[in-house]
């Protein structure tokens, strides 16, 4: 199946390219797609009322910096022998009034449950995914847009006193790291050592109480 769609996004093409390509927003904002740092992950779609999950990889190939690239998605069904492969070719072009014209050419093929879906249903699913993708991009661009001059705080006059400096400490940055195999192996000995220490302390108390008698 091949589908071609052009969407208009706010902001210049350079900014849209930065969000989707340089910052990895395309793989992060794609609906149903969960990709790790190595490009491997899962894609969940709903076909004909049934949820279908693929496990595989996602890749990004820059054909012409700032203008043209291809995203490749390929995976195998988690619960079945089927496979799916998709290519999304994107062209970025500055449009009128500071907007971006993003032309997407989507090619989808597969076997297994994907091949059993009627073409009309598959077309509807791809159109729905593209619509959600476009809205996610627009929301991200809107959130990152600079505030208008009216919304910015007015300049402080020369006679105004300096603002008070808060004594509160800045909020700490917390990094969540998944446990590694080595850290999992260290959990059991530490727990055993703690239990042994508690048991030894309890035995010492019992021994002292008997000696006093």
Phi, psi of 187 (to 5 degrees): -70, -40
Indicate yes or no: pTM above 0.75: no
34 inside domain: yes
Q: Is residue 207 part of a domain?
A: no
How many domains does the chain contain in total? 1
Comparing CA positions, the residue from 148, 106, 136 lying closest to residue 16 is: 136
Residue ranges, the chain, pLDDT below 70: 48, 146-213
- Domain with 107 in it: what CATH number? 3.30.530.20
Token pair of 28 as six digits: 């992060």
Q: What pLDDT shows up at residue 150?
A: 44
Q: Strand 68-77 and strand 99-111: pairing?
A: unpaired
pLDDT computed for residue 211 by the predictor: 53
Q: Which residue has the tokens 């192996």?
A: 185
Give domain status of residue 100, yes or no: yes
What pLDDT shows up at residue 137?
A: 93
Question: Could you identify the residue written with the tokens 């054909």?
Answer: 63
- pLDDT value, residue 76: 95
In a domain, 205, yes or no: no
Cα(31)–Cα(125) distance, rounded to whole angstroms?
A: 11
Provide the token pair at 36: 């790790």
At 45 the pLDDT is 86
Whether 39 is covered by a domain: the verdict is: yes
Decide if 172 is inside a domain: no
- Structural domain contains residue 155: no
**Using CA atoms, how far apart are residues 9 and 5, in angstroms rounded to an integer?**
13
Residue numbers of the domain that contains 136: 2-144
Q: Is 203 among the domain residues? A: no
């Amino acid at each position: 199946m091949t589908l071609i769609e052009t969407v208009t996004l706010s902001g210049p093409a350079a900014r849209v390219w930065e969000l989707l390509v340089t910052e990895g927003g395309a793989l992060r904002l794609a609906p149903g797609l969960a990709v790790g740092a190595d490009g491997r992950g899962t894609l969940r779609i709903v076909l004909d009322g049934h949820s279908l999950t693929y496990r595989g990889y996602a890749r990004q190939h820059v054909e012409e910096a700032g203008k043209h690239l291809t995203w490749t998605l390929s995976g195998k069904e988690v619960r079945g022998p089927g496979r799916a492969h998709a290519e999304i070719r994107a062209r970025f072009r500055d449009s009128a009034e500071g907007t971006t014209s993003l032309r997407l050419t989507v090619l989808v093929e597969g076997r297994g449950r994907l091949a059993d879906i009627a073409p009309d249903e598959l077309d509807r699913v791809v159109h729905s995914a593209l619509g959600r993708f476009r809205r996610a991009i627009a929301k991200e661009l809107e959130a990152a847009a600079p505030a208008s001059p009216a919304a910015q705080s007015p300049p402080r006059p020369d006679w105004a006193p300096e603002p008070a400096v808060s004594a509160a400490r800045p909020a700490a940055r917390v990094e969540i790291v998944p446990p590694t195999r080595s850290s999992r192996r260290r959990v059991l000995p530490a727990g055993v050592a703690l239990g042994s220490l508690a048991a030894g302390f309890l035995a010492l108390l019992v021994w002292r109480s008997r000696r006093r008698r």
